[in-house]
Chains A and B, each alone.
Chain A
Amino acid sequence: MSLSTDLTIGFSRELELPPSHEPGNETLANIKAHLDIVLLALESLTGLGSEAILEAASTLDLQNLISDRVSLWRLRQANPQRQSASGRKTIDVTEARALVLIVGYLAQEHQGQIRRAVSLLEQMTLQNKDPHRAALLGDYLDRFSNTYTERMKTNGTGDIQQLNHLALKLLVDLLFYSSPQGARRLWLALFDLAAWS
């Protein structure tokens, strides 16, 4: 059985709504925002674009939700932190679930690169070195900061240190999302995260 088939069966079976977690509008807004920046981190590290996301959606049989670039763009624009976001699209649980599946699938596909980056980060941290000095991490941090600044409302969060820290946190999170149970972990964490926020 191929990896994609495994993932399709596994993901669709596992990602049910957690009990007593009927998300409200605010929770959904936070979920939208978090999923968007997780995808942003993944794009910044691996260089994948919307084409790869659409392919993943096709593999996971999510074409009815994300069929083309426009629908993907509209889905991601639902992030309230986006500069161009004006509440034109509200994400629902089904769409959030689709994005979680796509993040888990893509993270698992790029698990080697994610693991290399995290191992490198651990080494640099233990040696008290700036992560920027490692090419892989430096490129990732720069791309993430640039894209984030370009797409998101900063609202005073444009501090480069904070952006770097956010990027590194998302990088470590991606390591856990890249496991076979990663999508499920992201799905469960989203609700806690939304509640925390």
Chain B
Amino acid sequence: MFTLERRFHFPSCSLIVRAQRSLLTFWRRSAWDSSLLWEIRFSSPIPETEPGVLKGDTRQIQQLHQMVNHYLTTTLLAQPTTDIPLLGNVTKVLKAQSPPTLSLRGLLAHELHCGSLTSSQPQLLLTATQLADLALALDTYAQAQAEQALWKNTSSMPWRPIALGSSFLVIAAIATGLYWQRSRSLTPVLSTAPAIDAQPRPEQAVIPPPPIAAPSPQPTPQLPDALAKLGKLNPPGSVTVPGRPQPPNTSNVGIRSSANRANSKPSQSQQAVTPSTSTTSEEEFVAVAPPAPQVPPLPPLGASDSIESPLTASAEGTNNLDVPEELFADASAHSPRNTPRSPANATVPEFPPTLPQVQEVQQYFAQRSPTGSLPAAGVKYRLTIGADGALVRLRPLDTASTESLSFLAMPRLGEPFVSSLDNYRQAEIQLHIEAGGQVTTHLKKVQ
């Protein structure tokens, strides 16, 4: 059984329509309507009254719809305008043919006598807006029912494929059952040939494998007495046998099995295929796993560090480095990643190179605070330091930095202000002084 549900929402009430369906009545729309149940919930009732709920079946919702329409057109809207107070006692009771009924308690209040309807209260007091929404809900339901669109949207509901699938399964099960019954009815015909049926079919006959004979000790041949008395001849000299080509190293290579060799350690030649002229039957060959390939042992873990990166190589080959900025940490925070880990790199300049001058430049400007206010974004300069630690060149990186140059205690050109460079002729250091005075330096280039 499936329960279909359709909800209509209005500002002050909701209409919920449900229909119960089974697989057998699924395709009959009339059966849907006959099993229909509805419920109206008023969501914003008049204060001091409980929320009203109305329930009923198909006949009752049609009855309620007719009654509300009749009430509106003949009682409320057709009343002489000055006869009805806004709120008052019951002035006119609709003489409906059957319950439920509506009675006027003023322009803004209407009393619904539920009668045969299932309701939370025998009488519901509806406001004008609630009555309008009730009429709209009933109109909507009636229109959907008239256009057969009440369950139209439910065609896309997820239960529908399930129902279709279930129906298909049931039909398939019935068809299978019928086919099985039919096949059983043919069985006596087949059983009239018991002699044929009793014999195993050739393809079904299982031939047991022949038992493997246990190796028996070979009898030692005894020479005749005449021969035994003769002297033993020396064996001929050895003959050089041409080298046998090595078989391809593939899997499932058969080797000759032997009871004597089973416990012996096989050599490389024994693992090769050695077809014998006297022993060519399959029973004498067994499958063995291919020998493990000879892989040279892995170098120790530290050895991989000795592989030089192209950057390191270029650092060795040239002395001029243009270094991306992101490769450099701040001068105040050098990462151990930048320190070489291999002894092979110990003689090579570090990459990225760690220059103490970067830190010295940072300390130089950190100790000398600007004399004026710097722009909010700070100032940026590119300082070129010579081998003797003197300022060779100063390049502001933007206009604000040019204008703020006078606020900074820049070292004089040609005068050393940091320690001399050991391995390089020049180093370019980028200087960034923030508005708060924080100084950051980066190494940009070395020569």
Give Cα A186 to B47, complex, Å: 30
Give Cα A169 to B74, complex, Å: 15
Contact with A along B72-89 (1 / 0, CB 8 A): 111011111110101100
Determine which of B47, B82, B84 lies in contact with A126 in the assembled complex, contact meaning CB atoms within 8 Å: B47
Interface contact B108-A122, CB-CB below 8 Å: yes
Determine which of A115, A166, A196 lies in contact with B11 in the assembled complex, contact meaning CB atoms within 8 Å: A115
Residues of A within 8 A of B135 (CB): 176, 179, 181
Give Cα A93 to B5, complex, Å: 43
Interface contact A172-B139, CB-CB below 8 Å: no
Give Cα A76 to B81, complex, Å: 20
Interface contact B77-A176, CB-CB below 8 Å: yes
Within 8 A of B (CB), among A163-179: 165-166, 168-170, 172-173, 175-176, 179
Interface contact A193-B78, CB-CB below 8 Å: yes
Contact with B along A154-197 (1 / 0, CB 8 A): 00000000100110111011011001110001101100110011
Interface contact B80-A197, CB-CB below 8 Å: yes
How many Å from the CB of A63 to the closest CB on chain B?
A: 28
Residues of B within 8 A of A188 (CB): 73
Interface contact B76-A176, CB-CB below 8 Å: yes
> Which of A172, A173, A179, A197 has most chain B Cβ within 10 Å?
A172
Q: Which residue on chain A has the smallest CB distance to residue B130? A: A122
Determine which of B11, B46, B47, B77 lies in contact with A173 in the assembled complex, contact meaning CB atoms within 8 Å: B77
Within 8 A of B (CB), among A104-150: 115, 118-119, 121-122, 125-126
Give Cα A79 to B183, complex, Å: 89
B132 within 8 A of A: yes
How many Å from the CB of B3 to the closest CB on chain A?
A: 29
Given contacts A166-B81, A169-B84, A176-B135, contact A192 B129 (CB under 8 A): no
Q: Which residue on chain B has the smallest CB distance to residue A10? A: B143
Interface contact A189-B81, CB-CB below 8 Å: no
Interface contact B78-A196, CB-CB below 8 Å: yes
Interface contact B46-A126, CB-CB below 8 Å: yes
Interface contact B128-A122, CB-CB below 8 Å: yes
B127 within 8 A of A: yes
Residues of B within 8 A of A185 (CB): 69, 72-73, 77
Residues of B within 8 A of A169 (CB): 79, 81-82, 84, 107
How many Å from the CB of A141 to the closest CB on chain B?
A: 13
Interface contact A175-B129, CB-CB below 8 Å: yes
Give Cα A156 to B73, complex, Å: 29
A interface residues, how many (CB within 8 angstroms): 28
Given contacts A125-B108, A176-B135, contact A118 B82 (CB under 8 A): no
Residues of B within 8 A of A170 (CB): 81
B170 within 8 A of A: no
Interface contact A196-B79, CB-CB below 8 Å: yes
How many Å from the CB of A197 to the closest CB on chain B?
A: 7
Residues of A within 8 A of B81 (CB): 165-166, 169-170
B96 within 8 A of A: no
Give Cα A173 to B131, complex, Å: 12
Interface contact A125-B87, CB-CB below 8 Å: yes
Within 8 A of A (CB), among B95-120: 107-108
B178 within 8 A of A: no
Q: Which residue on chain A has the smallest CB distance to residue B47? A: A126
Interface contact B82-A166, CB-CB below 8 Å: yes
Give Cα A192 to B79, complex, Å: 8
Given contacts A169-B81, A188-B73, contact A122 B132 (CB under 8 A): no
Determine which of A165, A166, A189 lies in contact with B78 in the assembled complex, contact meaning CB atoms within 8 Å: A189
Q: Which residue on chain A has the smallest CB distance to residue B127? A: A122
Give Cα A180 to B138, complex, Å: 12
Contact with A along B308-332 (1 / 0, CB 8 A): 0000000000000000000000000
The 5 closest A-B pairs by CB, nearest first: A192-B78, A189-B77, A188-B73, A193-B78, A169-B81
Q: Which residues of B line the A interface, CB within 8 A?
A: 11, 46-47, 69, 72-74, 76-82, 84, 86-87, 107-108, 127-129, 132, 135-136, 139
Known: A122-B108, A166-B82. 19 other contacts (CB 8 A): A118-B128, A118-B129, A121-B86, A126-B47, A162-B82, A168-B86, A168-B107, A169-B107, A172-B108, A175-B128, A176-B72, A176-B132, A179-B132, A180-B139, A185-B73, A193-B77, A196-B78, A196-B79, A197-B80
What are 18 A-B interface contacts by the 8 Å CB criterion? A122-B127, A125-B87, A125-B108, A126-B46, A166-B82, A168-B86, A169-B81, A169-B82, A170-B81, A172-B107, A173-B77, A181-B135, A181-B139, A188-B73, A192-B73, A192-B78, A196-B79, A197-B80
